[in-house]
């Protein structure tokens, strides 16, 4: 009894006098990380910029080829504050989101449908893997023949590359659904449609979101490559290649940093969205 009194109140009894009762901490509540741990993601960028600055200061690379990080960041801030880089940034964002939207709207339902019938998926698996393994830049001439040099070309080829990733992940999410949940639904008398709607679709969400995150990154990469080589007059890809041709290295590196920041923000946004929507995954 003395041990119980030392460690806490006996279940079902009132708390000791002078102490207010508090509910037990939720198991889902993540402990607050120390400040040092939260700052760890900043170490990599700081080290990169430090090495970059030292390389420029010691003249290991000529300034005409590699400006200082300070000058590059000033060019980036100036460009995004209302310069030409802002317009190029907005155009690339619009193209990327359009391509991604097409891939998501078409790819997720198609992947779930194919995954629900494994024989149907196996019949097209080679085509999906073949084109998924083919560099999208190698398909640029084909899309040029079909769509010309218009904006539709850039959006179409990016949507195609992203679509394959979404279909693959959604289909495998359904195929690899937890068998015990499917069996439990069958034991309870659920129809095939109810199993598909209430079990398979939800089981596919987590891998589908992984596919969506990869797809939006792929769409951005393809859009920028297409802007470089398919007669574009705007966009970050056009800004990079145009600045490189006239040795405007500050603008070139600023556009590269803008493209990298855009990709990072899109990835983080979808990661947060995934955690909010599929927070029950793995339980």
pTM of this prediction exceeds 0.85 = no
Average pLDDT value over all residues in the chain? 82
Q: How far apart are CA 209 and CA 280, in angstroms?
A: 13
pLDDT higher than 50, residue 269: yes
> pLDDT band at residue 53, thresholds of 50, 70 and 90?
confident
User: Is 68 inside a domain boundary?
Assistant: no
Residue 99: partners with Cβ closer than 8 Å, 6 or more residues away: 154, 155, 156, 158, 159, 162, 219, 222, 223
User: Is 28 inside a domain boundary?
Assistant: no
**Of 20-29, 161-170, 230-239, highest mean pLDDT:** 161-170
**Of 61-75, 84-98, 145-159, highest mean pLDDT:** 84-98
User: Is 226 inside a domain boundary?
Assistant: yes
What's the mean pLDDT in 272-279? Answer: 82
Q: How far apart are CA 223 and CA 221, in angstroms?
A: 6
User: Is 104 inside a domain boundary?
Assistant: yes
Supply the CATH number for residue 210's domain: 1.10.3720.10
Residue 161: partners with Cβ closer than 8 Å, 6 or more residues away: 136, 218, 219, 222
> pLDDT band at residue 15, thresholds of 50, 70 and 90?
very low
Q: 111 near 171, Cβ under 8 Å?
A: yes
Furthest-apart CA atoms within the chain: distance in Å: 85
User: Is 12 inside a domain boundary?
Assistant: no
Higher pLDDT, 229 or 240: 240
> pLDDT band at residue 219, thresholds of 50, 70 and 90?
very high
User: Is 61 inside a domain boundary?
Assistant: no
Q: Where in the sequence is the domain holding 119, given as residue range(s)?
A: 81-175+204-277
The residue among 170, 172, 163 whose CA lies nearest residue 216 is 163
> pLDDT band at residue 239, thresholds of 50, 70 and 90?
very high
What's the mean pLDDT in 222-235? Answer: 88
The residue among 106, 108, 103 whose CA lies nearest residue 202 is 108
User: Is 188 inside a domain boundary?
Assistant: no
pLDDT of residue 138: 87
Cβ atoms within 10 Å of 116's Cβ, excluding its own: 19
What's the mean pLDDT in 227-243? Answer: 89
Tens digits of residue pLDDT in 113-128: 888 887 888 899 899 8
Residue 93: partners with Cβ closer than 8 Å, 6 or more residues away: 262
What's the mean pLDDT in 24-42? Answer: 64
pLDDT of residue 44: 84
pLDDT of residue 222: 94
> pLDDT band at residue 21, thresholds of 50, 70 and 90?
very low
Higher pLDDT, 38 or 138: 138
pLDDT of residue 103: 96
Higher pLDDT, 255 or 37: 255
What's the mean pLDDT in 204-228? Answer: 90
> pLDDT band at residue 77, thresholds of 50, 70 and 90?
very high
pLDDT higher than 90, residue 162: yes
User: Is 55 inside a domain boundary?
Assistant: no
Domain count, the chain: 1
pLDDT of residue 27: 46
> pLDDT band at residue 4, thresholds of 50, 70 and 90?
very low
What's the mean pLDDT in 51-68? Answer: 88
Q: 165 near 111, Cβ under 8 Å?
A: no
């Amino acid at each position: 009894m003395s041990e119980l009194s030392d460690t806490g109140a006996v279940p079902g009894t009132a708390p000791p006098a002078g102490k207010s009762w508090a509910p037990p901490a939720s198991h889902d509540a993540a402990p607050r990380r120390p400040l040092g741990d939260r700052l760890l993601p900043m170490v990599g960028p700081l080290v990169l910029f430090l090495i970059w600055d030292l390389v420029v200061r010691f003249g290991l690379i000529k300034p005409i080829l590699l400006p200082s990080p300070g000058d590059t960041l000033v060019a980036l801030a100036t460009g995004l504050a209302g310069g030409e880089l802002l317009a190029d940034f907005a155009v690339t964002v619009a193209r990327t989101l359009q391509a991604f939207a097409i891939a998501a709207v078409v790819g997720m339902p198609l992947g779930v449908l194919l995954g629900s019938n494994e024989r149907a998926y196996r019949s097209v698996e080679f085509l999906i893997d073949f084109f998924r393994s083919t560099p999208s830049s190698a398909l640029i001439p084909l899309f040029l023949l079909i769509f010309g040099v218009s904006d539709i070309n850039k959006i179409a080829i990016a949507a195609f590359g992203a679509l394959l990733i979404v279909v693959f992940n959604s289909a495998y999410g359904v195929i690899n659904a937890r068998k015990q949940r499917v069996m439990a639904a069958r034991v309870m008398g659920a129809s095939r449609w109810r199993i598909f709607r209430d079990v398979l679709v939800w089981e596919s969400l987590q891998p589908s979101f992984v596919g969506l995150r990869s797809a939006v990154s792929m769409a951005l990469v393809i859009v920028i490559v297409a802007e470089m080589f398919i007669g574009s007059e705007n966009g970050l890809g056009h800004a990079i290649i145009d600045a490189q041709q006239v040795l405007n290295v500050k603008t070139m590196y600023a556009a590269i940093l803008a493209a990298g920041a855009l990709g990072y923000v899109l990835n983080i946004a979808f990661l947060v969205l995934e955690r909010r929507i599929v927070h029950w995954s793995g339980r």
